[in-house]
Structure 1
Amino acid sequence: MRQFVIALLIFASLLLGMAVAAFFIFVDTQPMSRFEYLNAMGRITLFKFTGMPKLDEAETKFLYSNSCTRRCHGKEVVERTKHTPREWESIVKRMRFVNGAELTDYEDIAITRYLQKNYLSNVPTILSYEANRFLKSYLWKSDFGESDLYVDVIYTPLEYFKLVGNIGDAEKYEVDDYVVFLVYLNTHQNKLPKLPMEKLAVLRDRDGRSFGPIDWKLTYESGDMHHMEGVLRFKKIKQEKGFMEISLMNLPGQKERIFRWEVPVPEFNGK
């Protein structure tokens, strides 16, 4: 019996030695060294089942690459199109629960946050080049991320919902009766505070009249509190031609952020 155990241990040692040798000879771990790769794999395996330790940016990128761009498809498939935070959340969920990607809850959250941070868009990604150009020219306004708070505001008359193919939301937000804006708030480093946009926003017309919001509805909030979306509605402004602007007061980093639109918005002709 003793000889059998010794023989079994020797055989197991030989198999382990062959596996280690094969790893060092055949496995490409670039750009990491093999020892860095083994360390990363150990930490990620522990994270996979426990959520600990907290992964740094390089380890999260490695988790994303190893889970998404090596097993399923090339990285160009994932990275060629940016998505909104909500879209990335849905895409990862679809890959996991519909397409069978083997991800734990911890991996799901980490990969979603990585994609939201590095491949972020604040407009729907189903648009054609011409439609996207029209959107950016006439409807979508952005600031420059003062104090790591990036604000994007999209004016959404009926033309917007025709553009994105979602007339149902036009009816839901009652765009015939209200001036409606989609507001996107993003930060890369800090958590977003609960911002009472219904108290911070003011709409002005060309005559200098000011209007407070009718309501503010938060429609999306990421789990890490880095991304929020919401809908601001104001009463309809009666003016034939000119401009209107939204002033957002007392946001982090700036006393006032102003976004202006020329109205009326022209019809999209597909060019």
Structure 2
Amino acid sequence: MIFKSKTVLAAVFVLLVFFAVGCAKTAGTNGQADEKPATAGDVASGQSEQKSDEQADLEQKYLKSDQGQGGVTVEALWVTPEYLAAAVLDDPNLKKQAEKNLVFEIFLTTHGGDLLKEFDVLSNVELLVDGRSVKPSEWKLNQADPHHPAGTVVFPKVLDNEPVLGENTKELKLVVKNLRDVPERVLIWRIP
């Protein structure tokens, strides 16, 4: 289990509750939204309304989002030991999980239908690295909201006795297939 520490579990729970509450805000009397809904970017950057340059850099490096095709937005946060250190999340168990695996927090957002019934993460998500397809080894649903499900998907860091991320790897692609009649969505992380 990724969240063995009660402190990290509580922090993730608070962030997910804030995310859900932010998305549930209603329009104000002038027809405009009172507040913009919380996003995975808020989670990545510590949910500050005024983002520092460091928070913006952190978000740009580790958080990716698609264009919301088919009425569903997919956001993914790559949880690495470097991200955990920069985000000041000092949990040894989560750090150990991220050191042994490739870990992503996935946030889906729609305003119609039930994504919990419509989409099977384990069957429809994969990593593409240097031409190799890597299937997830674990999916843990962290937020069971039909319009805003969120969870942790884990991929092995080693496949067939070879590291998934080689020393010449330039990019990592998270591919989401068959979500709301969109055959494929690709989120890309560039590796310096």
Is residue 2:124 matched to residue 1:203? Answer: no
Runs of 4+ in 1 over 4 A off after TM superposition: 115-118
Distance 1:160 1:131 in 2: 12
Distance 1:252 1:165 in 2: 36
Shift of 1:173: 6.6
Q: Which has a greater percent of helix?
A: 1
Q: Find the counterpart in structure 2 of residue 180 from structure 1.
A: 103
Distance 2:174 2:19 in 1: 28
3-state SS of the aligned residue for 2:60? helix
Q: Find the counterpart in structure 1 of residue 80 from structure 2.
A: 157
Distance 1:136 1:256 in 2: 23
| Correspondence 1:49-60 to 2 at 5 A | none
Shift of 1:149: 0.5
> Residues 151 and 216 from structure 1, CA distance in 2 versus in 1: closer, same or farther, beyond 3 angstroms?
same
3-state SS of the aligned residue for 2:167? coil
Q: Find the counterpart in structure 2 of residue 255 from structure 1.
A: 183
Distance 1:173 1:262 in 2: 23
- Of 24, 49, 52 in structure 2, the residue corresponding to residue 129 of structure 1 is 52
Q: Find the counterpart in structure 2 of residue 6 from structure 1.
A: none
What count of residue pairs does the alignment treat as equivalent?
159
- Of 18, 24, 49 in structure 2, the residue corresponding to residue 87 of structure 1 is 18
Based on CA coordinates, which of the two structures has the bigger radius of gyration?
A: 1
Q: Which has a greater percent of strand?
A: 2
Q: Aligned Cα RMSD in Å? A: 2.8
3-state SS of the aligned residue for 1:114? coil
Distance 2:105 2:184 in 1: 18
Query: How high is the TM-score relative to the length of structure 2?
Result: 0.71
- Of 38, 61, 81 in structure 2, the residue corresponding to residue 120 of structure 1 is 38
Which gives a bigger RCO, structure 1 or 2 (Cα 8 Å, sep 6+)?
A: 2
Shift of 1:85: 5.0
Query: How high is the TM-score relative to the length of structure 1?
Result: 0.52
Distance 1:257 1:118 in 2: 24
Distance 1:173 1:216 in 2: 17
> Residues 141 and 158 from structure 1, CA distance in 2 versus in 1: closer, same or farther, beyond 3 angstroms?
same
Would you say the 8 A contact 1:203–1:244 is kept in 2?
yes
Shift of 1:172: 6.5
Q: 1:258 corresponds to which letter in structure 2?
A: V
Would you say the 8 A contact 1:245–1:260 is kept in 2?
yes
Instruction: Extract unaligned runs of 5+ from structure 2.
Output: 1-13, 27-32, 158-163
Distance 1:169 1:221 in 2: 26
Distance 1:112 1:141 in 2: 19
Distance 1:148 1:254 in 2: 10
Shift of 1:121: 1.9
Distance 2:96 2:108 in 1: 20
Would you say the 8 A contact 1:173–1:180 is kept in 2?
no
Distance 1:174 1:164 in 2: 16
Identity in percent: 23
3-state SS of the aligned residue for 2:24? helix
Would you say the 8 A contact 1:85–1:120 is kept in 2?
no
Q: Find the counterpart in structure 1 of residue 7 from structure 2.
A: none
Distance 1:228 1:148 in 2: 14
Would you say the 8 A contact 2:76–2:107 is kept in 1?
yes
